[in-house]
A and B are shown apart, each in its own frame.
Chain A
């Protein structure tokens, strides 16, 4: 089994974008940020953002789910040419630029899924704001999905997700 820190090291652009996405949505929602580490080689976690309490549930959702939006969108754009070339035309990935695009895109895509702490943070916010009924159910459902996705990392679900994202636009363009 490949150690997590090694995967984080190889895919470090994804860690940086993940933390930058948290930070960006903290700033956008006027949530105070006290400390940020965009990447710590061999650190566990590989990066983090320490912030204050978001003002609303929507803000909490944006902050927790920010990486899912930003990393997924960037992965989709960065791997568009590579995915088309490799999966649609069966032309392989030739040249340093395409190899760089593939590494960057898939690294970023692999870190799109929020961490368990992200999910726990959002659920705690729902509870603290006395969210109940549908809101609490939604929070628990999201938290459950995120926990499941994190557990499935053992079978490279993060990489499978990144490849799936890269195939989404070619599929929408009717390439398959």
Chain B
């Protein structure tokens, strides 16, 4: 990884200079692959940014108790990023808030919840359902 500087050689003892802008084929191919990968990453960003915006809008609606708006925003975010735990937990919280426990339970089915996620869910989860869950170490 080091760059070693060498003094400019005398004319009578000049070592072979590499022709400028010539790279081994594998370096050129690797560079092309890296640029393609960067382009692919870049093309995915608009959908992810949109999911982030919908998540934040949903969280804001959730904070003011507007569960219907929260569900609309968070369902959009869920479509754009189905694996997002933040979206799933907030959407389930909003579903409990509008008394749709089946939809909420379907979302969190099989998940192991962190304490913070549990604290979010129990804001709206009915105590009768909370009693069905047990903490694990």
Contact = CB atoms under 8 A, between A and B. Distances in A.
Nearest to B49: A173
B85 interface: yes
B85 A20 contact: no
B11 interface: no
Contacts of A104: 34, 37
A117 B2 contact: yes
Nearest to A173: B49
Given A38-B24, A115-B2, A121-B4, 8 more contacts: A34-B6, A48-B1, A63-B3, A85-B83, A91-B82, A91-B83, A97-B40, A105-B41
Interface of B: 1-9, 15-18, 20-21, 23-24, 27, 30-31, 34, 37-38, 40-42, 44-45, 48-49, 51-52, 55, 77, 81-87
Interface of A: 8, 13, 15-20, 22-23, 26-27, 30, 32-36, 38, 45-53, 63-64, 74, 77-82, 84-85, 88-92, 94, 97, 100-101, 104-105, 108, 111, 114-118, 121, 124-125, 170, 173, 175
